Structure 1
């Protein structure tokens, strides 16, 4: 089974910016969110798109299935997802053995910056950069699906 294992943190400073490898603008809309599964459409830089199905989280792991879809289909699905759409710029930031994804949110969530790291196993050791703040892996308020339903920055 396809699986996503990730930890998520708030950012505490701009130290990550000096190591940015690349960035993309993401628009993602949530077609369905429930206790069992989430269905999301995502458009990267208005050039490519994916449809993602995510299972119920079990700690920092959950099932994840992702499929490339035609951009025109993604645009139509994005309209169906409104108003549950978020926009952000994602930066790839290498640090030691991992590449972190730093999301700088726009629109209703402007000012929110989160960093995520994907791991191969739930017990994999990850060196944490000093620009990380509080871990929010288990705080559902910072899940993108939750953010899409709740404008503003969680407090």
Structure 2
């Protein structure tokens, strides 16, 4: 089990594009969602699949278990998806030795661009890149599970 501290930010500009190290096409869906847990299947680049269980109601810090599964089984499980199947391209961008995963959504969530920073430790404000938009850490509407169930979130005023 790996404990993660996850921060999320909206991204409203493209200043990060020149620093992309890697791109991954992701199709993900949920087969179970509750207030304190979720079960997700993720397919990367149409080549590999993973089954993920997340536990805890505190969005920034949760217990996570992840296992590889056969691609064909993941594709078969898509039939049991709850809500929208999420399609996005994940871009890896490094800033001050931290890896940011910038997700550019397509399909029903087209136009949404968010980044996640997952670390075992807290990252101070002065270590964050200038291209980050509004922080949405802990806002349920911006969790992937909520996006699958409820679609594009209404703007949340901070």
- TM-score scaled by length of structure 2: 0.92
Contact 1:142 1:154 in 2 (8 A): no
Partner of 1:96: 96
Q: Does 1:139 align with 2:100?
A: no
How far the C-alpha of 1:59 sits from its partner, in A, is 5.3
**Whole-angstrom distance in 2 between the partners of 1:59 and 1:140:** 8
Runs of 4+ with deviation above 6 angstroms: none
Partner of 1:148: 148
Name the SS for the 2:73 alignment partner.
helix
How far the C-alpha of 1:124 sits from its partner, in A, is 4.2
Partner of 1:128: 128
1:4-23 equivalence runs, <5 A: 4-23=4-23
Gaps of 5+ in 2: none
Partner of 2:53: 53
Deviations 1:30-60 (A, max 9, x none): 1010012100000001000000000123251
Deviations 1:71-94 (A, max 9, x none): 001001122115431100000001
Partner of 1:106: 106
How far the C-alpha of 1:3 sits from its partner, in A, is 1.7
**Whole-angstrom distance in 1 between the partners of 2:54 and 2:108:** 24
**Whole-angstrom distance in 2 between the partners of 1:59 and 1:41:** 18
Partner of 1:68: 68
Partner of 1:34: 34
**Whole-angstrom distance in 1 between the partners of 2:124 and 2:39:** 30
Contact 2:82 2:149 in 1 (8 A): no
Name the SS for the 1:138 alignment partner.
coil
Residue-pair matches, total: 154
